[in-house]
Amino acid sequence: IIRKWLLCDFDPVRLPNISSSNEQFELSHKKAQDVYRSLRDKGFGDCVIAISGSGRHILIAVNIPCNEETDKIVKDFYTYMGSVFSDDNVEFDEKVYNRSRITKLYSTYAKKGANLPTNPWRQSKIVYIPKELKPTPIEKIKELANLAPKEKPKQAPNRPNRNYINTPFDLRTWLNEHG
């Protein structure tokens, strides 16, 4: 199996379940333009640009195998992108690194909340497809992935080691013990 695309999703920071305002929508557009230029300056290939409905998408063409090693590289790439390009107005969605996630079908409408003049529903659509679409080499993705902030591993809370095999299970006791 080969991964063909990396989705960069830029969502305006706003209240949940409401479409973006025109101002928020424009902020996501400016953020996507900045990121597009930055990626091109770093040697990435030309990208597909789309409207997600409330924000913007950049689709990076790739041709990389789907395996644990490349999944880690892609996740670190998204962590880097989020750490550099998210701010108080526009968030880079780091969760889309997961190849099992889906995105909307372009030409459908994003209908969050009521369709208001200040926060209208918008149609998702592709707005730019390059004449020549060359996959960005994994080495370019790896360069940015290597710059991702390293998180300290989360330590599991200290809990007594219990063997529940052949022991009656008492839900009330278990819930009390585990908060």
DSSP assignment letter at 80: H
Q: Residue 167: its pLDDT value, please?
A: 61
Written in H, E and C, the secondary structure of 86-155 is CCCCEEECHHHHCCCCCCCCECEEECCCCCCCCCCCEECEEEECCCCCCCCCHHHHHHHHCCCCCCCCCC
Are 82 and 92 in contact by the 8 Å Cβ rule? The answer is yes
Tokens of 52: 């997600």
Q: Residue 152: its pLDDT value, please?
A: 53
Low-confidence residues of the chain: pLDDT under 50: 153, 155-164
- Residue reference for tokens 């200290």: 158
pLDDT tens per residue across span 85-114: 999 999 999 998 988 877 888 999 989 889
Q: Residue 101: its pLDDT value, please?
A: 77
Nearest to 3 by CA among 65, 72, 67, 75: 65
Q: Helix, strand, or coil here: 57?
A: strand
Q: Residue 150: its pLDDT value, please?
A: 84
- Residue reference for tokens 């360069």: 143
- pTM to 2 decimal places: 0.81
CA–CA dist 42, 27 (Å, integer): 23
Q: Output the CA torsion 65→69→70→72 (10° steps).
A: 150
Pairing of strands 48-51, 125-128: antiparallel
Are 141 and 41 in contact by the 8 Å Cβ rule? The answer is no
pLDDT tens per residue across span 107-122: 999 898 899 999 999 9
